[in-house]
Structure 1
Amino acid sequence: MGKKVLIVVTSSDKIAGNDTGLWLEEYAAPYAAFVKQGYDVTVRSIDGGQVPLDPNSLPEEENLEWQEAQAILTNTDKLSEDDVSAGYDAVYLPGGHGTVFDFPDNLLLQRVLREHAEQDRVIGSVCHGPTALVHVTLSDGTPLVKGRRVNAFTDEEERDMGLEGAVPFLLESTLREKGAQFEGGDKWTDFSIRDGNLVTGQNPMSSESVARKIIDAVENR
């Protein structure tokens, strides 16, 4: 039976009055990698419907390998109760600044992640996608990230963008506060970590290495 991957994307489209949303590469490159691997990929968004794309993430020339993934974003299904118990082998959370507003407090997404963690299924995320992890607790109340090696968009990178005052929290600092063993790479370079069945990456440049680590984790569960 083929492996199944759930990708959850943001529906939030504004930050400090400017357009934001999903960062395309962080979604489309892993999607293409999962499909190439033969996985059945399901895409859900927080609110359903058309997914906003950060305009800064759109390539100057169309990437043919991303066409299938991008077409799905015109009309997505909303994350639902069925996704909690659907038996996905992995859930993947791409970033974009939209995620900082609608990932952290979404209780349904928290349940999906708790279920995956407690059944030792794969959780992968990149850049701002790990905002989804910050409020997730296991059934015993322990933060999901406590004691885990994780990576995400760094505080230094957020300051480089001048958005430290526009986001509700700094992701690296918050993960550390939750007890995560945060490991960061050089800013704006590919860096990703696999800690068991938890895979996290730092920025858009880490999209493909995160996908490879997720595939490795799925194949070696």
Structure 2
Amino acid sequence: MAKNILIVCTSWDKLGDTKEPTGCWAEEVIAPYYIWKKHGYNVTIASVKGGEVPMDEASLNPPYLTKEVEDFLLDDEAMKGLMDSVPLSDVKGDDYDAVFLPGGHGTCWDFPDNAELIALLSHFVDYNKVISAVCHGPMGLVNVKGTDGQPLVAGKKVTCFSDAEEVAVAKENVVPFMLETRLKELGALYECGPEKWAPFALRDCNLVTGQNPASSARVADLVVDALTWK
């Protein structure tokens, strides 16, 4: 039976309360989407509010415009997922084998304290399902508890957009908090790659995380591994 994977995107389209646009980072949705489709998985795209997912314009233009992103933009069936995403309120955790949180700076504002997202991820925790995230996607994990009542990430090997990378894009004073620092405060065994922007991903049992946009495909492959051995 084909596996069902849920991608949950941000619906936040501005950097905090500013007018500077942001949203979801294209590669972080699209690279995993195509990998999972090639494995015959069913992939559903949801977002916090539903409807059109705001995309970070930078991720749709060179030098970040990958061949896969170009193909996706011309793929009517795939694009429908981003143009008419399922509202998080309509999602039932029972319908999915794995959940994936792509990043983009929008997640910094509508992921951490979202009660519906926390409840959904708690369902995946309770039923020992695969939870995955990349770049700023782990923003959605910071208020999720494990079955022991401790932070989900406590004692687990995880990664995310590093503080060094946040400083490199000059957003350290814009984001509500530095994600790497917060994960460490929660007891995570944080790791990152030796170089900024290089692919780096980790799997700790059913928790899969990736460091940055370039890590998206590796996260997808590790999710496949996790589902294969379940």
Q: TM-score, normalised by structure 1?
A: 0.95
Aligned residues of 1:81 and 1:108 also touching (Cα < 8 A): no
Q: Deviations over 1:132-185 (max 9, x none)?
A: 000111354211111010000000000001001110000000000011000011
Q: Residue 153 in 1 paired to residue 161 in 2?
A: yes
Q: Which runs of 4+ in 1 moved over 2 A?
A: 59-62, 65-71, 138-141
Supply the distance in 2 between the matched residues of 1:74 and 1:158 (Cα, whole angstroms). 28
Q: Deviations over 1:5-64 (max 9, x none)?
A: 011000000014211000000001101111111011111100111110001100446621
The aligned counterpart of 1:44 is 46
Please point out which of 17, 20, 23 is paired with 2:22: 20
Aligned residues of 2:72 and 2:79 also touching (Cα < 8 A): no
Q: Deviations over 1:166-215 (max 9, x none)?
A: 10000000000011000011211000001111110000110111111111
Supply the distance in 1 between the matched residues of 2:146 and 2:39 (Cα, whole angstroms). 30
Q: Residue 198 in 1 paired to residue 200 in 2?
A: no
Supply the distance in 2 between the matched residues of 1:81 and 1:208 (Cα, whole angstroms). 27
Unaligned runs of 5+ residues in structure 1 are none
Structure 1 position 219, deviation (Å): 1.0
Supply the distance in 2 between the matched residues of 1:117 and 1:53 (Cα, whole angstroms). 28
Supply the distance in 2 between the matched residues of 1:148 and 1:206 (Cα, whole angstroms). 19
SS state of the match for residue 208, structure 1? helix
Aligned residues of 1:114 and 1:144 also touching (Cα < 8 A): no
How many positions carry a matched residue from both structures?
220
Supply the distance in 1 between the matched residues of 2:72 and 2:58 (Cα, whole angstroms). 19
Are residues 71 and 110 of structure 1, via their aligned partners in 2, closer, same or farther at CA, if it must alter by over 3 Å? Answer: same
The aligned counterpart of 1:215 is 224
Matched to 1:17, the amino acid is: K
Identical residues among aligned pairs (%): 48
Q: Residue 126 in 1 paired to residue 128 in 2?
A: no
Aligned residues of 1:10 and 1:51 also touching (Cα < 8 A): yes
Please point out which of 167, 174, 183 is paired with 1:166: 174
SS state of the match for residue 73, structure 1? helix
Q: How does 1:71-110 map to 2 (within 5 A)?
A: 71-80=80-89, 82-86=91-95, 88-110=96-118
Aligned residues of 1:84 and 1:111 also touching (Cα < 8 A): no
Please point out which of 59, 71, 87 is paired with 1:64: 71
Q: TM-score, normalised by structure 2?
A: 0.91
Aligned residues of 1:91 and 1:122 also touching (Cα < 8 A): yes
Structure 1 position 123, deviation (Å): 0.7
Structure 1 position 65, deviation (Å): 4.7
Aligned residues of 2:44 and 2:81 also touching (Cα < 8 A): no
Are residues 211 and 166 of structure 1, via their aligned partners in 2, closer, same or farther at CA, if it must alter by over 3 Å? Answer: same
Structure 1 position 2, deviation (Å): 1.3
